[in-house]
Amino acid sequence: MTPKESLKRLVKGNERFVSGQALHLLQDENRIQELAGGQSPFAIVLSCSDSRVVPEIAFDTGLGELFIIRVAGNVANTSSIASIEYAVAHLGTTLIVVLAHQSCGAVTAAVAGGDNGENLNHLLSHIAPAIKASKDNSVDAVSIVNAKLTAEDLINKSAIISKAVEENKVEIRSAFYQLADGKVVFFD
């Protein structure tokens, strides 16, 4: 599947989800057996851990369709980048989506500042560049900038991802999930 076809599939799936027309395909025992020998997910999603933002459900996808990395604030750290590299290099996945969302707790904490302890401070330090770059310091505005900067980070911090993008094998898009209606807005 090309990056464009992959994106179209996500957009269509999200439209079904939002309109209550989800098909819930590829979630049965046949699919489980079919995948026992291997996987070829059509998209990679770097998403927040927020329990309200569930990529498989939001894009109406089944087993083996999405390769998902979830970390609070959907940040590009060494582990999340390495996970994406695996899917790009070994599974041939052609689309990477960095999925931010409305009212993100991680971004809220980053904007508020202060000491949140060693581990959370480290995670939130990945959001600091977005706070600096955003003209508007509302949580949602920073989240959108964070998704866009994270998409750039994936290229700047990974030789595997940047090479795949250069060779037009992979495209990266940032996106924003609206909590009120479940709609995912994609950015260029």
Binding site for Zn ion (CB under 5 A): 48, 50, 104, 106
Helix (H, G, I), strand (E, B) or coil at 102: coil
| Residue pair 158/85 in contact by the 8 Å Cβ criterion | yes
Residue 176 CB, nearest approach to Zn ion (Å)? 11
Nearer to Zn ion, 38 or 114 (CB): 114
What are the C-alpha distances in Å from 115 to residues 4, 120, 121, 146? 42, 9, 7, 20
The distance of Cα 166 from the centroid of its chain, to the nearest Å, equals 20
Backbone angle region of 149, left / alpha / beta, with phi > 0 → left and psi within -120 to 50 → alpha:
alpha
Q: Which is nearer to Zn ion, 88 or 140 (CB)?
A: 140
Question: Among residues 10 and 53, whose Cβ is nearest to Zn ion?
Answer: 53
Q: Which is nearer to Zn ion, 43 or 109 (CB)?
A: 109
Shortest distance in whole angstroms from residue 126 CB to Zn ion: 13
- The two three-digit tokens of residue 159, written as one number: 């030789």
Please give the torsion angle defined by the CA atoms of residues 151, 123, 47 and 33, in that order, rounded to the nearest 10 degrees. 120
Query: Least distance (Å) from Zn ion to the CB of residue 187?
Result: 17
Greatest alpha-carbon pair distance for the chain in Å reads 50
Q: Which is nearer to Zn ion, 54 or 91 (CB)?
A: 54
What's the residue count for the chain?
Answer: 188
Q: Kindly state the smallest distance separating residue 169's Cβ from Zn ion, in Å.
A: 29
- Rounded to a whole number of angstroms, the minimum distance from the CB of residue 104 to Zn ion is 3
